[in-house]
Amino acid sequence: MADQTSTTPLPPNAEKRYEVHRADLPLSCPTPSMSLWNSHPRVYLPIETNGGKARCPYCSALYVLVD
């Protein structure tokens, strides 16, 4: 996942697969580091109870828990 200390927001849904860490939880799509103005509504994804993977129902981005 991108460095959240950056002042420029990431474009939302720019990739189709994102690696996330436990420090990034709770997981939402788009993530807090992404701009929201041209994206879908924020949705929280249950990655911990889903075998370490979660797919966004809006944009189909796949999130994978790596630690």
Cis peptide before 26 (omega within 30 of 0): yes
Q: What is the pLDDT of residue 20?
A: 95
pTM above 0.75, yes or no: no
Q: What is the pLDDT of residue 3?
A: 47
Q: What is the pLDDT of residue 22?
A: 95
Q: What is the pLDDT of residue 32?
A: 86
Tokens of 66: 């790596």
Burial class of 1 by CB neighbour count within 10 A (0 to 12, 13 to 18, 19+): middle
Answer whether residue 66 shows pLDDT above 80: yes
| b/e sequence 30-62, b meaning 16+ C-beta within 10 Å | bbebbeeeeeeeeeebebeeeeeebbbeeeebe
Q: What is the pLDDT of residue 39?
A: 82
**Strand, coil or helix: what is 10?**
strand
